[in-house]
């Protein structure tokens, strides 16, 4: 994504892949301490996923970029996050959404024969606010 600078993860995997995407969602933080954010409002989230591994599949892919987009965009785009079953019991803060996205992506990667791993989820909620979540190396 033009203009974005991502924090780098130090690792020794032979391949690193990054996938950028946007999704537009509404949410609210159900607590008066969140002020205006306690009311339903929307964001165009910007997401960068960093995936690494040593082996490619028979297509020469570490993981299919399109499958990564489907996993997240199809699930969260044009949704009220608080109402989604995946978000049940969670406050959809940027931090908790980054962690949830990591869990969804890593569960998908665990099903692939070449065993890539998700190193980093970079989730930008507003032009001035973002979170980085890292899986255990
Ligand atoms: N640690 C967190 N703090 C806040 C979160 C969050 O997810 N984690 N979320 C919100 C609100 O939902 C809001 O969407 C984002 O807040 P903020 O960055 O303050 O948004 P602004 O566009 O108003 O930021 P400015 O830099 O003042 O323009 C609140 N806090
Ligand atoms: Zn918000």
- The residues lining ligand 1, judged by C-beta closer than 6 Å to any ligand atom, are 29, 34, 37, 43, 93-95, 125-126, 128-129
The ligand whose atoms approach the alpha carbon of 92 most closely is 1
Check the annotation: does 41 bind a ligand.
yes
Check if 67 is active-site: no
pTM for this one?
Answer: 0.95
Domains of the chain: 15-117+127-134 (3.30.479.10)
ipTM: 0.94
> What is the mean pLDDT, run by run of 10 residues, along the chain of 137 residues?
78 97 98 97 98 98 98 98 96 98 98 98 96 88
Nearest one of 66, 102, 96 to 81, comparing CA atoms: 96
At residue 19, the pLDDT reads 97
DSSP β-bridge partners for residue 26: 42, 80
Catalytic residue among 16, 37, 67, 99: 37
> Given ligand 1 and candidates 31, 33, 35, 37, which is best to mutate, with the most ligand atoms within 8 Å of its CB?
37
Answer whether 45's CB lies under 8 Å from 23's CB.
yes
- Res 4: pLDDT: 75
The two tokens of residue 36 are 């205006």
């Amino acid at each position: 994504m033009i203009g974005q600078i991502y924090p780098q993860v130090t690792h020794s995997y032979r391949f690193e892949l990054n996938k950028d995407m946007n999704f537009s969602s509404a949410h609210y933080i159900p607590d008066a301490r969140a002020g205006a954010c306690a009311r339903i409002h929307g964001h165009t989230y910007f997401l960068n996923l960093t995936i690494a591994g040593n082996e490619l599949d028979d297509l020469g892919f570490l993981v299919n970029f399109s499958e990564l987009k489907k996993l997240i965009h199809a699930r969260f785009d044009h949704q009220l996050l608080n109402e989604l079953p995946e978000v049940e019991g969670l406050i959809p803060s940027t931090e908790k959404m980054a962690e949830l996205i990591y869990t969804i992506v890593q569960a998908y990667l665990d099903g692939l024969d070449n065993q890539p791993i998700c190193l980093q989820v970079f989730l930008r909620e507003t032009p001035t606010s973002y979170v980085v979540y890292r899986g255990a190396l």
